[in-house]
Amino acid sequence: MQTAANLMPIPGHIDPVPVPRSFVPRSDGRIDLLGLSLADLRMALETSQLEEKQAKLRAKQLWHWIYNRGATEFSAMTDISKTMHPWLEQRFVISRPNVVEAQVSTDGTRKWLLRSDDAQDYEMVFIPDADRGTLCVSSQVGCTLNCTFCHTGTMRLVRNLTPAEIVGQVMLARDSLGEWPSQPEGRMLTNIVMMGMGEPLYNFENVRDALKLVMDGAGLALSRRRITLSTSGVVPMMARAGAEIGVNLAVSLHAVTKEVRDEIVPLNRKYGIEELLQACADYPGTNNARRITFEYVMLKDKNDSDDDARELVRLLRKYELPAKVNLIPFNPWPGAVYECSTPERIKSFSSIVFGAGISAPVRTPRGRDIDAACGQLKTASEKKSRAQLDREAAVESDAFA
């Protein structure tokens, strides 16, 4: 039997050993380079029998073309010799998410319905403002967490999005805004929020790897201070998010008592309010200039009383949190059992929090007319009734009979 003592020592200094990853080829046999880190890109080239030194050089060039220039064709890569283009084309692609539908709201908000190669639908939303442009990115198809006020939580199918599918949303937005090559000034797309479909901390590694690409200064170059990750409170992953991603944190608090939060954010039964707020207090890098955002959806007669507002202030003070509170008017969707609080109630709630010295703006809903507002994301294919899907399936099978 081998024991640690009789294992052969490894000569030389010990480098982190890159673990070869298996690159899953697409149905056409080619490997998608989108979503790969520089190290993975190099490994993909080496796996295709490119000699080590060549692979290192080419990986660097490809990485620059992909993430800084937004190239999707190898033929555009002028510093890679023309004779190599067909070699690359035979083995690799640089994909984008497939766009099924793009909609524009009367307020300028845009929503894209995207489809993966295995026919999973997800959405992204771009919200232009006077001084910024925010892309709301999805991390999963659907969401397993079933918050009772959220349309996404009612989707039956759930799958984690890959790093390519996550960073692909940012690439696609850049394509459509004409913002290549990447430049530090004068961009329309200035901010990213992980607030689309899904719970990002339930897809931690893929979200982390995608955001690393988004933040890399030589590529997409969005500063971590312009990126916000929103979680419904996956407490055990919050410290890792702080250490390994380091972006701004938003927490979907939504209620201040166990009873109400257990009902509307069922994850609360696993990780309670106090535990969650302690994890917020431990989140690295927060201070008065870099606060944690607490999201609070305003639900009529559920979580919107003056007492609730006072309890919110007490809790934020107790944990000494550098906090701002985002009050989100509830966005309705067909079948939802809640109503939005009245404007007077929201005002009263806001002024109690504000009166305690905590910023508590009321978020203006954006893109409601195209179902692009918070919590309204649910893909068109999921909105179809069971009966309609069955009818379509019957027509399809007739066609193949």
* Contact pattern for ligand SAH over residues 192 through 221, marking x by CB under 6 A: ---x---x----------------------
The β-bridge partners of 24 are: none
Binding mask 29-68 for ligand SAH (x = CB under 6 A): ----------------------------------------
Q: Which region, left, alpha or beta, applies to residue 81 given φ > 0 means left and ψ of -120 to 50 means alpha?
A: beta
Please choose, from the candidates 123, 209, 116, the residue with its C-alpha nearest in 3D space to the C-alpha of residue 163. 209
* Residue numbers belonging to the annotated binding site for [4Fe-4S] cluster: 143, 147, 150
Task: Confirm or reject binding of residue 121 to ligand SF4 (CB under 6 A).
Answer: no
Q: How far apart, in whole angstroms, are the C-alpha atoms of residue 194 and residue 166? A: 10
CB of 240 to ligand SF4, least distance (A): 18
User: Helices 273-281 and 235-244: crossing angle, nearest 10°?
Assistant: 10
Q: Is 232 in the site for ligand SF4 (CB under 6 A)?
A: yes
Q: Which residues pair with 248 in a beta bridge?
A: 228
Task: Tell me if 295 contacts ligand SAH by CB under 6 A.
Answer: yes
Pick the binder of ligand SF4 from 45, 147, 255, 353 (CB under 6 A).
147
261 and 255 in contact (C-beta within 8 Å)? yes
User: Is residue 174 within 8 Å of 206, Cβ to Cβ?
Assistant: no
Question: What six digits make up the tokens of 321?
Answer: 């949190």
Known binding-site positions: 143, 147, 150, 198-199, 230, 252-254, 331
Contact region with ligand SF4 (CB under 6 A), list: 14-22, 75-83, 95-103, 141-149: 141-149
Binding-site member from 127, 145, 235, 313 for ligand SF4 (CB under 6 A): 145
**Which range touches ligand SF4 (CB under 6 A), out of 143-151, 165-173, 279-287, 306-314?**
143-151
Cis ω for the linkage preceding 18 (within 30 of 0): no
Answer yes or no: 123 catalytic: yes
Contact 382, 342 (CB under 8 A): no
Strands 191-194 and 31-32: unpaired
Residue 230 engages ligand SAH in binding (rule: CB under 6 A): yes
Residue from 105, 116, 134, 152 that binds ligand SF4 (CB under 6 A)? 152
Contacts (CB under 6 A) with ligand SAH, residues 106-145: 143
Residue with tokens 């702080």: 242
SS3 20: coil
How far is residue 310's CA from residue 133's CA, in Å, rounded to a whole number?
33
Binding mask 241-280 for ligand SF4 (x = CB under 6 A): -----------x----------------------------
Give residue 233's region: left, alpha or beta (phi > 0; psi -120 to 50). left
Using the minimum distance from each CB to ligand SF4, give the nearer residue, 80 or 150.
150
Calculate the CA 112 to chain-centre distance.
14
Q: Is 252 in the site for ligand SAH (CB under 6 A)?
A: yes
The two structure tokens encoding residue 186? 């004068």
125, β-bridge pairs: 111, 136
Comparing CB distances to ligand SAH, the nearer of 84 and 362 is 362
Contact status: 294 vs ligand SAH (CB under 6 A): no
Residue from 77, 222, 277, 328 touching ligand SAH (CB under 6 A): that is 328
Q: Which of 73, 123, 205, 263 is catalytic?
A: 123
Of 93 and 374, CB closest to ligand SAH: 374
Q: Among 150, 173, 211, 315, which residue sits at the site for ligand SAH (rule: CB under 6 A)?
A: 150
- Does 88 participate in binding ligand SF4 (rule CB under 6 A)? no
Query: Please, which residues have CB within 8 angstroms of residue 168's CB and are 6 or more apart in sequence?
Result: 34, 35, 95, 96, 97
Structure tokens at 32: 């998608």
Q: What's the first-to-final CA gap in the chain, in angstroms? A: 60
The residue (of 36 and 125) whose beta carbon lies closer to ligand SAH is 125
Handedness of CA 26, 31, 34, 35 (dihedral sign): positive
Contact status: 297 vs ligand SAH (CB under 6 A): yes
Check binding of 234 to ligand SF4 (CB under 6 A): no
Per the residue annotation, which of 280, 339, 374, 396 is the catalytic one? 374
Catalytic residues: 123, 374
Using CB under 6 A, list all residues that contact ligand SAH: 143, 147, 149-150, 195, 199, 230-232, 252, 295, 297, 328, 330-331, 374-375
